[in-house]
Amino acid sequence: MKNIIISDPTLRDGNHAVGHQLSVEQVKIYAKAANAANVPILEVGHGNGIGASSLQVGLAKESDIDLLEAAKSQLTTTKLGIHCIPGFATIERDLKLALDIGVDVYRIASHVTEADVTKKHISFVRERGKEVYGVLMMSHMAGIETLVSEALKMESYGAEGVVIMDSAGAYLPQDVKKRVTALRTALNGHVGFHGHNNLGMGVANSLVAAECGATILDGTARAFGAGAGNTQLEVLIAVLEKSGYSTGVDLYKILDAGDIAEEYLIDVIPSVKSTSIASGMAGVFSGFIRHIDRVSISYGVDPRDVLFRLGKRGVVAGQEDIIIEVAQEIAEQQGKTK
């Protein structure tokens, strides 16, 4: 039976869905449930990772240190993980803080064509003997040759594996098959897959990734995440078990964790809506949808038009300012004024 490592970013990616307003108490409640279910890795923090709380991408309700310490206090077997994007996070301010708190797993992320920026952060963590992975976000925006080249850079910096993110929920199973197969052939370490559900393919794409050699899969309780949400963790665990994979996660207790997340964390259960589908079709970061909905109302334009226009521009996470520019441009073309 093939083993799959489950990484659960419910308390990190889910923060996107609530404007980064998860509280210390909410973190404690879900962390306790995830630990009881024997989830291997639990990611915690601002939706864009440690050090990201800002006016540009959203101010968090709680500090990084408060969220991480709250989660750590509830974990006995589950490893505490962070998502770290160089540029938001620095080594001196953020990674050293995470080390002091006792974070176990470090996932250092960049846009899919910018792995170079992760070198110092990955090397720093690796030199301190911690578990570190590279993460390539918006991976659909690069061809397979580029994707493999960027992943190899991360491995050369010391990453023990590379996780590709379908940040826009744009992949179909054949896309996942080609990319994970290529990465599995090229890399020595783990290959991971992080799915989103914009086109309703989160679980299906994750299963294909496992079949093609991925050994790390991400999923969130009740699909808690931006837009249409992430790969739904409880379903993923059940499907993997039925397909003959071993995750070590207790099925009944992860089902309980999903119920707990719905009761204590989630305002609105993620579902596939028209803007989510447009996001997946356009290849636009799922985390933009809340901003796009708000700005589109303000300018009186169709959010689907904004999404497809952003897709043509090839915008990436961190370029939230362009949403207003595009909405204003469409409004002017349509003879509307704010």
Active site residues: 16
| 167 labelled binding-site residue | yes
Q: Say whether 194 counts as a known binding-site residue.
A: yes
Phi, psi of 269, deg, nearest 5: -60, 130
306, 323 contact by CB (below 8 A) = yes
Q: Judge whether 68 and 31 are in contact, CB under 8 Å.
A: no
Chain-centre distance for alpha carbon 12 = 8
**Cβ contact 196:169 at 8 Å:** yes
Q: For residues 17 and 225, is the Cβ–Cβ distance under 8 A?
A: yes
Are 184 and 193 spatial neighbours (Cβ–Cβ below 8 Å)?
no
Helices (H), the chain: 14-17, 24-36, 64-72, 96-101, 119-127, 144-157, 173-186, 202-211, 233-242, 251-264, 274-282, 289-299, 303-313, 321-333
Question: Is 12 flagged in the annotation as binding?
Answer: yes
Contact yes or no for 285/316 (Cβ under 8 A)? yes
196 annotated ligand-binding residue = yes
Say if residue 13 carries a ligand binding annotation.
Answer: yes
Secondary structure of residue 210 in the 3-state scheme: helix
Give the CA dihedral 166, 82, 212, 179, nearest 10 degrees: 40
Going by the annotation, the residues of the binding site for Mn(2+) are: 13, 194, 196
Going by the annotation, the residues of the binding site for substrate are: 12-13, 167, 194
Going by the annotation, the residues of the binding site are: 12-13, 167, 194, 196
